[in-house]
């Protein structure tokens, strides 16, 4: 055991090194039997007999290895199976039924994971107006609603068949809670066919925006010289008592707020962005069908979200914009244009007009339009965000600190450590899950995100205007 459970300031509980640990060391190792996989959820869930009848008969793409059982065809999406099982375990626990071996795990899960699913719908729409985060919030709630719509009739059927014990409600509230737990704790394992699992104990690791993208939990197949289990390797040396963080992925502060219920200062988050949505529009573009085909030939979808950042434009943005804004007189030229843009990386003249110039112009127009979408002013958002920073900067997180004692730590808890560096800094403070459960602080967190999104849009607008002038100057020089 190299890691100990601790209360770690705004992050809540976390895992710390129990002694100096060298880089590369396996800090944590869990065998398959200690993971809640979708297959295990389907087999162990009280609805298993019904789920078995629903299973497709054809074999699924197997993720079996020497250390994992063969994967059975799944009757439902992974997410729904995990949610179903979690909801059952929660119901059992609430009724005092501790018969499941996962009870201690479910008992230590947060009652309110703090994701956007807990925000009142009207508040979410108001708060996120103008920001691309509104699309993300909508997609999260739609996914949860679709999963519930799929599960509700099955739960009713299983109850009618007497599969669900009377003391287990399997209510919508239990499922909603399960969706929040999954959003904030489920781990996807690239080393095991991208399967999504719940990993008790490992899911006590907190996120650091600065952690290397490679610093994450993954499955190490024994066959390829790995340890044959879920493993976290130290990405750097750790001192005794130092909190071990992982990367939940290159996520913006808004993505973390909606899915994990905490908000690091956007200005200190290297993954902060503004997701610009680009799409071929069949309603206004007579060449939409051809453009969709041309994009597909280059492996590109007809709708794309690209992350604008302060540091510069994402790769491929101008090429994509050049294609979707182009109006070639000869329709078939769409394919030639796509090849020149996406294969050769050149912006040709189209019917005498410069496609790079058109793309830059369009980018500036879209930034201007996006800036107008925000319902608040930059100054108001700056004041709101700064007020929240001042309010939380020097106060310790609320909540019972003895919660860690109830968690499955086989060792006594060492004394509290100083607040981690990720909890503050010159660019603001991380608003933790307890903070953002307060709607005023939630509003302030979103205001801070809007400030950064606007700065990104303004910078992009200015740099596209500067580049546009450059392109025009070069064109004039060519004509002289
Ligand atoms: C996978 S769990 C990690 C363990 C969690 N701290 C706990 O007490 O159960 C993810 C949750 O931890 C918290 N968290 C993770 N990283 C954080 C960070 N850098 N700052 C604040 N909260 C964090 C959030 O509440 C998030 O939903």
Give the domain ranges of the chain: 3-250, 251-397+432-480
204 lines ligand 1 (CB under 6 A): yes
113 lines ligand 1 (CB under 6 A): yes
In tens, the pLDDT along 289-313 reads 999 999 999 999 999 999 999 999 9
Residue 110 CA, closest ligand 1 atom number: 9
Q: Which of 207, 396, 413, 419 has most ligand 1 atoms within 8 Å of its beta carbon, as the pocket-test mutant?
A: 207
Is 213 within 8 Å of 271 (Cβ atoms)? no
Write down the pLDDT at residue 216.
84
Class of CATH domain 3-250: alpha beta
Write down the pLDDT at residue 226.
73
More confident residue, 259 or 214: 259
Q: Which of 181, 200, 433 has most ligand 1 atoms within 8 Å of its beta carbon, as the pocket-test mutant?
A: 433
In tens, the pLDDT along 195-254 reads 999 999 999 999 999 988 778 899 998 876 777 899 998 888 999 999 999 999 999 999
What is the DSSP code string of 335-382? HHHHHHHHTS----EETTEEHHHHHHHHHHHHHHHHHHT-SS-HHHHH
Q: Would the pLDDT of 1 be above 90?
A: no
Q: Which of 182, 185, 199, 206 has most ligand 1 atoms within 8 Å of its beta carbon, as the pocket-test mutant?
A: 206
ipTM above 0.90, yes or no: yes
Which amino acid residue places its CA nearest to atom 22 of ligand 1?
A: 11
Q: Would the pLDDT of 88 be above 80?
A: yes
Query: Which residue spans within 147-266 are E strands per DSSP?
Result: 187-189, 195-197, 206-207, 218-220, 229-233, 245-246
Write down the pLDDT at residue 415.
32
Query: Which residue spans within 87-192 are E strands per DSSP?
Result: 187-189
How far away, in angstroms, is 226 Cα from ligand 1 center? Answer: 28
433 lines ligand 1 (CB under 6 A): yes
More confident residue, 50 or 393: 50
Q: Would the pLDDT of 422 be above 50?
A: no
Write down the pLDDT at residue 407.
35
Quote the CA–CA distance of 358 and 345 in Å, as a whole number: 16
Q: Which of 10, 11, 15, 113 has most ligand 1 atoms within 8 Å of its beta carbon, as the pocket-test mutant?
A: 11
In tens, the pLDDT along 305-344 reads 999 999 999 999 999 999 999 999 998 899 999 999 999 9
Average confidence (pLDDT) over 454-477: 95
Write down the pLDDT at residue 64.
54
CATH topology of domain 251-397+432-480: set domain protein methyltransferase, domain 2 (3.90.1420)
Average confidence (pLDDT) over 180-186: 98
422 lines ligand 1 (CB under 6 A): yes
pTM: 0.91
> Mean pLDDT, the chain, as a whole number?
90
In tens, the pLDDT along 133-163 reads 999 999 999 999 999 999 999 999 999 999 9
Residue matched to tokens 């200190």: 268
174 lines ligand 1 (CB under 6 A): no
């Amino acid at each position: 055991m190299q890691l100990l459970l601790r209360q770690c300031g705004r992050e809540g509980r976390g895992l710390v090194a129990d002694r100096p640990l060298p880089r590369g060391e396996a800090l944590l190792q869990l065998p398959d039997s200690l993971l809640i996989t979708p297959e295990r959820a389907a087999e162990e869930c009280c609805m298993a007999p019904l789920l078995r009848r629903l299973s497709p008969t054809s074999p699924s793409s197997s993720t079996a290895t020497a250390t994992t059982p063969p994967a059975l065809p799944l009757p439902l999406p992974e997410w729904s199976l995990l949610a179903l099982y979690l909801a059952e375990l929660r119901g059992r626990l609430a009724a005092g039924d501790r018969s499941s071996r996962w009870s201690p795990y479910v008992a230590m899960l947060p009652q309110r994971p703090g994701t956007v699913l807990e925000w009142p719908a009207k508040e979410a729409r108001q708060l996120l107006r103008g920001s691309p985060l509104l699309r993300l919030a909508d997609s999260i709630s739609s996914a949860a609603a679709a999963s519930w719509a799929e599960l509700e009739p099955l739960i009713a059927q299983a109850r009618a068949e007497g599969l669900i014990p009377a003391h287990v409600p399997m209510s919508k509230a239990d499922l909603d809670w399960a969706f929040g737990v999954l959003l904030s704790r489920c781990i996807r394992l690239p080393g095991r066919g991208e399967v999504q699992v719940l990993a008790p104990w490992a899911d006590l690791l907190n996120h650091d925006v600065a952690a290397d993208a490679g610093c994450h939990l993954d499955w190490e197949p024994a066959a390829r010289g790995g340890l044959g289990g879920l493993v976290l390797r130290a990405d750097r040396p750790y001192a005794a008592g130092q909190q071990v963080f992982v990367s939940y992925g290159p996520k913006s502060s808004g993505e973390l707020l909606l899915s994990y219920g905490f908000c690091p200062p956007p200005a200190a988050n290297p993954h902060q962005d503004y997701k610009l949505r680009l799409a071929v529009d069949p309603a206004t573009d007579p060449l939409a069908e051809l453009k969709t085909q041309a994009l597909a030939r280059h492996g590109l979808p007809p709708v794309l979200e690209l992350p604008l950042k302060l540091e510069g434009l994402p790769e491929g943005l101008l090429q994509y914009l050049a294609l979707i804004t182009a109006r070639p007189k000869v329709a078939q030229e769409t394919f030639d244009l796509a090849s020149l843009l996406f294969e050769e990386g050149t912006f040709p003249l189209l019917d005498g007009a410069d496609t790079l110039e058109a793309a830059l112009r369009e980018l500036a127009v879209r930034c201007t339009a996006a800036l107008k979408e925000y319902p608040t002013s930059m100054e108001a958002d700056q004041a709101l965000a700064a007020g929240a920073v001042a309010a939380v900067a020097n106060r310790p997180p609320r909540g019972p600190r003895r919660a860690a004692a109830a968690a499955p730590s086989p060792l006594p808890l060492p004394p509290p450590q100083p607040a981690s560096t990720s909890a503050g800094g010159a660019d603001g403070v991380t608003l933790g899950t307890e903070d953002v459960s307060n709607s005023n602080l939630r509003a302030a967190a979103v205001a801070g995100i809007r400030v950064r999104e606007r700065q990104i849009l303004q910078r992009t607008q200015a740099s596209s205007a500067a580049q546009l002038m450059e392109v025009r100057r070069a064109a004039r020089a060519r004509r002289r």
